[in-house]
């Protein structure tokens, strides 16, 4: 008979990693929801920046999909890389007027979030994630 030992002890580092993931996900899930709820205004505002409907839909899908993947810990590395690249593109395309202090702040914020995303992509979702839960479940049945 096979005995399975479970180490279900939650470490402080696991809680910190979960908190970091949730905080990084929050800005994208929130923004994706705001863009969706105000879809007409979103499309109009993006059009004034030269961004068409297909890109608007892709941005909303990216923010909601990758944001939820990070928050839940499902395919976290992929979501983190996608949002990290999105932040770099946003910084480079929309926040380069460094004479404007607000634009400089947004540029730096986007770079900082990208850094957090790339760090998350390197270390993964951690112990408190759906990916890890499924992995443990699969191993216990093998």
pLDDT value of residue 141 = 86
Domain count along the chain: 1
In a domain, 38, yes or no: yes
Q: Which domain holds residue 47?
A: 18-141
Q: Within its chain, how far is the Cα of 72 from the centroid? A: 10
Run means of pLDDT, 10 residues per run, the chain, 142 residues: 58 96 98 98 95 97 98 97 98 95 97 98 95 89 80
- pLDDT value at residue 74: 97
- State the pLDDT at residue 9: 87
pLDDT at position 124 is: 95
Can you say how many angstroms the Cα of residue 40 is from the centroid of all Cα atoms in its chain?
24
The number of C-alpha atoms within 13 Å of 130 and in the hemisphere containing its C-beta is 10
- 13 occurs within a structural domain: no
Give CA separation, 60 vs 38, 86, 103, 117, 123, in Å. 11, 12, 22, 18, 26
Is residue 1 in a domain?
no
| Residue 5 lies inside a defined structural domain of this protein | no
73-94 b/e with 16+ CB inside 10 Å = b?
bbbbbebbbbbbebbbebbeee
Tell whether 58 is covered by a domain. Answer: yes
């Amino acid at each position: 008979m096979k005995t399975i030992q479970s180490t279900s002890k939650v470490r402080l580092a696991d809680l910190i990693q979960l908190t970091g993931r949730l905080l990084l996900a929050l800005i994208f899930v929130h923004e994706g929801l705001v863009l969706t709820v105000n879809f007409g205004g979103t499309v109009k505002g993006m059009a004034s920046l030269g961004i068409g409907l297909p890109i608007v839909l892709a941005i909303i899908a990216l923010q909601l999909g990758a944001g939820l993947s990070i928050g839940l810990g499902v395919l976290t590395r992929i979501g983190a890389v996608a949002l990290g690249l999105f932040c770099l593109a946003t910084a480079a395309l929309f926040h380069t007027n460094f004479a404007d202090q607000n634009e400089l702040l947004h540029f730096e914020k986007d770079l900082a979030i990208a850094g957090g995303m790339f760090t998350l992509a390197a270390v993964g979702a951690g112990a408190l994630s759906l990916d890890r839960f499924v992995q443990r479940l699969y191993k216990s049945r093998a």
